[in-house]
Chain A
Amino acid sequence: MITAMPSKPVPEPTPESRPYWQGLAEGRLVLQRCADCGRVRHYPRPLCDACHSFAADWVEASGAATLHSWTVAHHPYHPAFRAELPYVLATADLAEGVRLVAQLRGAAVLRLGLPLRIGFEPAGEGLVLPVLRPAG
Chain B
Amino acid sequence: MTLGGKAAVTGIGETDYTRDAGGRGVLTLQLEASLAAIADAGLRPAEIDGIVMPIGLGATVAEDFVTNLGIPDLRFSTTTPLGGAGAVAAVQCAAAAVAAGLCRHVLLPLGRTGRTGSRIGARIHQMPQFRTVGEFEAPVGALAPAQYYAPMARRHMELFGTTSRQLAEIAVTTRQHAILNGNATMTAPMTIEDHQASRMIADPLRLLDCSLESDGAAAVVVSKADAAGDLRQPRVLLTGLAEGHPDSPSTITQRPDMTRLGLAKAAPRAFAMAGVTPADIDVAEIYDCFTYIVLCQLEDLGFCGKGEGGAFVEGGALGLGGRLPVNTHGGLLSQSHMAGMNHVVELVRQLRGQAGRAQVADAEVGLVTGYGDLGDGTIAIMARA
List residues of B (161-217) whose CB comes within 8 Å of A's CBs: 199-205
Q: Does A42 contact B (CB under 8 A)?
A: yes
Tell me if B135 and A89 are in contact (CB < 8 A): no
Q: A133 interface residue, CB < 8 Å from B?
A: no
Indicate which residue in B134, B135, B144, B200 contacts A72 across the interface (CB closer than 8 Å): B200
Stretch at the interface among B51-59, B82-90, B147-155: B147-155
CA distance A102 to B141 in the complex (A): 8
Contact A71 B151 (CB under 8 A): yes
- Known A-B contacts A72-B200, A112-B158; the reply to A43 vs B140 at CB < 8 A is no
Complex-state Cα separation, A73 to B151, whole angstroms: 11
User: Does residue B138 face the partner (Cβ distance < 8 Å to A)?
Assistant: yes
Once the chains are docked, how many angstroms separate the CA of A69 from the CA of B142?
A: 14
- In the assembled complex, how far is the CB of residue B148 from the closest CB belonging to chain A, in whole angstroms? 9
Most A Cβ at <10 Å: residue of B139, B155, B200: B139
How many positions in chain B have a CB within 8 Å of any CB in the partner chain?
A: 35
CB neighbours (8 Å) of A111 from chain B are 158
Residue with the greatest number of chain A CB neighbours at <10 A, chosen from B141, B151, B254: B141
Q: Given A71-B203, A74-B201, are A9 and B134 also a contact pair (CB < 8 Å)?
A: yes
**Cα-based distance from A134 to B135 in the complex (angstroms):** 25
CA–CA, A84 and B140, complex, Å: 11
Which B residues are in CB contact (< 8 Å) with A103? 140-141
| Residue numbers in B under 8 Å from A14 (CB-CB) | 135
Contact of B141 with A73 in the complex, beta carbons under 8 Å: yes
Contact A9 B254 (CB under 8 A): no
Q: Which residues of B contact A127 (CB under 8 A)?
A: 139
- Asked whether, in the complex, the Cβ of A112 is within 8 Å of the Cβ of B159, the reply is yes
Does chain A have a CB within 8 A of B72? no
Q: Mark A102-136, 1 if CB is under 8 A from B, else 0.
A: 11000000011000000000010001011000000
Q: Does A32 contact B (CB under 8 A)?
A: no
CA distance A72 to B253 in the complex (A): 15
**B251 — which chain A residues lie within 8 A by C-beta?**
43
A127 to B199, CA, bound (A): 33
Indicate which residue in B140, B155, B204 contacts A112 across the interface (CB closer than 8 Å): B155
Choose one: A8, A9, A71; the contact of B154 (CB below 8 Å). A71
User: Are A89 and B134 in contact, with the CB atoms below 8 A?
Assistant: no
Chain A: residues with CB nearer than 8 A to chain B?
8-14, 17, 42-43, 68-75, 77-78, 81, 84, 86-87, 89, 91, 98-103, 111-112, 123, 127, 129-130
5 pairs from A and B in contact (CB 8 Å cutoff):
A9-B125, A43-B251, A75-B146, A77-B144, A89-B147
Q: Report, nearest first, the 4 A-B pairs whose CB atoms are least far apart.
A: A71-B150, A72-B203, A69-B151, A77-B121
